[in-house]
Each structure stands twice: as C-alpha cells, then as structure tokens.
Structure 1
Amino acid sequence: MPLNAQDLQAAIPRIFAPWIQALRLQVLSADADGVVLRLPVDPALVHVGQVMCGQAAMAAADTAMVLALMSSLGEFKPMTTVQLQTSFLRPIAGASCTVSAKVLRRGKKLAFGSIDIHDAEGRLAAQSTTTYALL
C-alpha cells in the first residue's frame, strides 16, 4: 500500500541528513506513482544572481525521488542514487517552487524516475532523470 503525504512528511526527519531537513520540503501529495513537494526558495538557497542555486534544486530532486520510491514501495528500504541528470531550463526565483517526482519503472534491483521542478509561476524550470539501486 502506498504511503500518503503525511507518512512521507513524518519520515523526512528520520531518514534524511540535517542539511536536507533544512530545505523545509513540504509533501503536498503522494501516490504509488510519485510525489509532489513544495520547496521554499529560502535566502540561504539563493546565490549572487538572486536565483536558487542548482545544488539546492538537485538535492530537492534527489530527495523527492527517494520519497516517491518510498511511496511506491509502501515503506522505506535502503537505496542509493546511481545517476541523477539535471537540465536547468530557466532560473528559479520567487517564494517557492514545486518538485514533482514520478517513478517510471521499478524492478527488483533498479528503479528509474523523472523529476520536474516548476517555478513560482508554474513554468518548467528544471528536469531530472534518475536511476536508483534498491539494496
């Protein structure tokens, strides 16, 4: 049975490192296929160009996919990122952005996913593909 948004939100402090917790990700929705998160664009994540740094976007994408896989699996199981490829399409500014992670295929040992990050105006700002090893 998939985990819901509340289950995943409660899991964040138990599973992720303190600096990931500091991103203040909010799980908006979750089902067996994926999750949608809200990422506040905190001043600590903004670089000299007055837009969110790519490192924060990639960390949010990676975290979103772990949560999506947890929802798909119905629980947390050990996994590790094998590949995370991100294309940045436009700067991310504004108060927040949304991070939507979708599980494309989950096998016994590998899982594949895609993540879209939309800016505060709903425009696609970054797109990632991922591969995870399920341990």
Structure 2
Amino acid sequence: MSGVTVKPEEILRANFAPWVLDLGLVVEEVGDGTAVLRLPWSDRLAREGGAMSGQALMAAADTAVVIAVSGAKSGFVPMTTVQLNTSFQRPVIGRDVMVNVEVTKLGRTLAFAEIDLTVDGGTTVAHASAVYAIIG
C-alpha cells in the first residue's frame, strides 16, 4: 500500500448520503490502509432498551472502511461494499464508539478490511470484516 494524506472530511461530504453524515462521525486519524473514526453517542441512535442500534454501528464500520481504503489509495476512488459481516458482542449505552479499521489486503479490484468497534479504551463491542470492490 502506498497511501498519502487524504482529506477525509471532504470525502465524507462529497460521497456519502445525508443520513450517514447525520451519524456525526469524526475522523480521528487516517494512515496507509488504516483509519480511526469516532461515532459519538446520541440518543437518536439508540433503539428500544437504550443501546446504540446495530444499524448505526454497521454504517460507521462501512464508512470507516472507505476512509481507510482512500488512505491506502492516496485519495478517494469509487468503490462499493461487496460484503460486510458484523458480530455484535456487547451493548453500547451512553458512550462514544471508536471504529478502528485495518485494510488487510488491497488489490487492484478488491480490498479486504477488519474493523474493531470499541469503547472505554479498547473494550470490543463489535467486530466486522468487509470486502469492497474498487470500481475506479
């Protein structure tokens, strides 16, 4: 991988639906095939019982992969999710979630990534793996 600095906020604004932007994701860091995003707690993201919805966690993971691949590719390129598998391990109530992505293989047409979603300095709340098709 041979990435360079990208402008993740511009990538988010230019390429994601308004409802994804409404998640309030904050890009903490982007590396060469890595990214860390913060999903801030919001009562709007809670489901019955008060825990953060799985849909919000999956959307955050999916979005973070785009940022990590963009870092590895030296900028945004068109891509689409082929597969996203998520295992939820514990509920999140009242805490921000850190979304940590590592692109494990970046080919010409496919990218593979592992995503850990954590709270409180490292407690895993969910884990996902993703496959993306690189379109451009």
Counterpart code for 2:23: L
Q: How far apart, CA to CA, are the structure 1 residues paired with 2:16 and 2:25?
A: 11
- Which residue of 3, 10, 16 corresponds with 2:5? 3
Q: How far apart, CA to CA, are the structure 2 residues paired with 1:120 and 1:23?
A: 19
Closer/same/farther in 2, CA of residues 30 and 121 from structure 1, 3 Å limit: closer
Size of the aligned set, in residue pairs, is 133
Unaligned runs of 5+ in 2: none
Alignment map for 1:48-87 (pairs within 5 Å): 48-87=48-87
Alignment map for 1:1-135 (pairs within 5 Å): 1-4=3-6, 7-120=7-120, 122-135=122-135
Equivalent residues of 1:94, 1:119 under 8 A apart? no
Equivalent residues of 1:113, 1:129 under 8 A apart? yes
TM-score, length basis structure 1: 0.94
Question: SS of 2:63's equivalent?
Answer: helix
Deviation, 1:15, is 1.1
Equivalent residues of 1:34, 1:69 under 8 A apart? yes
Unaligned runs of 5+ in 1: none
Alignment RMSD, CA only?
Answer: 1.2
Counterpart code for 1:123: T
Deviation, 1:90, is 0.6
CA deviations 1:65-109 (Å, max 9, x no partner) are 011001110111111100000000111122311001110000011
Deviation, 1:21, is 0.4
Runs of 4+ in structure 1 over 3 Å off: none
Q: How far apart, CA to CA, are the structure 2 residues paired with 1:29 and 1:55?
A: 23
TM-score, length basis structure 2: 0.93
CA deviations 1:28-60 (Å, max 9, x no partner) are 011102100110121110011111000000000
Q: How far apart, CA to CA, are the structure 1 residues paired with 2:13 and 2:117?
A: 22
Question: SS of 1:133's equivalent?
Answer: strand
| Identity value in percent | 40
Deviation, 1:119, is 2.0
Q: How far apart, CA to CA, are the structure 2 residues paired with 1:95 and 1:13?
A: 25
